[in-house]
Amino acid sequence: MTTELHDIAHKMVADGKGILAADESSGTIKKRFDTINVESTEDNRRDYREMLFRADDAMKNCISGVILFDETLRQKAADGTPLVQLISDAGAVPGIKVDQGAKDMVGRPGEKNTEGLDGLGARMAEYHALGARFAKWRSVITIADDGRPSWSCIKANAHGLARYAVICQANGIVPIVEPEVLMDGPDAKHDIDSCYRVTEWALKTLYDELYEANVDLEGTILKPNMIVPGQHSGTSASVDEVAEKTVKCLKACVPSAVPGIAFLSGGQSDELATAHLSAMNATYDMPWKLTFSYGRALQAAALKAWSGKTENVAAGQQAFTHRAKMNGLAAMGTYKADLEKAA
């Protein structure tokens, strides 16, 4: 099983490919559909995701894996084909979001701890039987002037990620560990250096916990935030500065045994998330693959182009394919902003 986990992890960070995060919860997908005035019914959710998974050029050439929500893992396309089969047939690895959301920490106002460990082993076994070969668990960390994050928050979330990861591997599933330092912290002091400090703290604690839990790092993928200033800080950073600080932080924290790092976009614009990733790959030598695991940054243009209309499926697929290709280039360090004109 160890070799199989290693093989899956390496496939997930194949050259020029990245991961499509299509694991929006029912509440999140409703918010996305509200922006295009489409009702969030089971059939509409299926049709939207089927549109993405049948975009052959993108799926076969740019997407290495797809993170699914529980509903989607069980759904069938309009013609009766399981959606998970569409993903596998395209050569991508099907995955599943398994956490049950970030909940308020008792005694720690404004901080969250991710839940979902209860019964996770049984759910993992079922998900493996349904075709999932990797999973995702997200924890969230907020920077604020009132002292957040606390050590309790950092420690609790790192411990939860480690427990989840070892349960994944015991069931033949590669864990994506996602400790996200949110970029929408409420205060002006959340500048790029604060992001660096807290991200370094979170990552070092995470890898201590993974070691203590006896997690096989070669069978894992890290999904971190980039080192960027907070949205409310009133500051900005160049593409080169984000790339330099992000790589420096990762080199200080992430063991070389990890096969790859798949960034979340975390509220960045589509093109900026792509530019940051490309700058890292073009400029620095690193012991791991750097790629993307984007949700909104891959889907926003496709969702708008589709707008819930059958006659717009081709346009939606074209928009998705363009973003997938741009990020595939970024994963190789060859993205150029003028390529966006092809959209």
- Beta-strand pair 174-181/221-222: parallel
Tokens in use for 318?
A: 């074209």
The whole-angstrom separation of Cα 207 and Cα 235 is 30
User: 117: part of which helix (H) or strand (E)?
Assistant: none
Q: Under a CB-based contact definition with an 8 Å cutoff, are residues 163 and 124 in contact?
A: no
The whole-angstrom separation of Cα 80 and Cα 116 is 31
Tokens in use for 272?
A: 């900026």
The whole-angstrom separation of Cα 199 and Cα 215 is 21
The whole-angstrom separation of Cα 270 and Cα 159 is 32
Q: Tell me if residue 223 is catalytic.
A: yes
The whole-angstrom separation of Cα 171 and Cα 137 is 15
| Residues linked to residue 141 through DSSP beta bridges, in sequence order | 181
The whole-angstrom separation of Cα 191 and Cα 236 is 8
Look up tokens 């480690």; give the residue: 162
| Residue 79 DSSP SS3 | coil
Given 11, 97, 223, 325, the catalytic residue: 223
Q: Under a CB-based contact definition with an 8 Å cutoff, are residues 198 and 149 in contact?
A: yes
Given 24, 50, 178, 180, the catalytic residue: 178
Q: Tell me if residue 289 is catalytic.
A: no
Q: Under a CB-based contact definition with an 8 Å cutoff, are residues 261 and 293 in contact?
A: no
**What amino acid positions are annotated as catalytic residues?**
178, 223
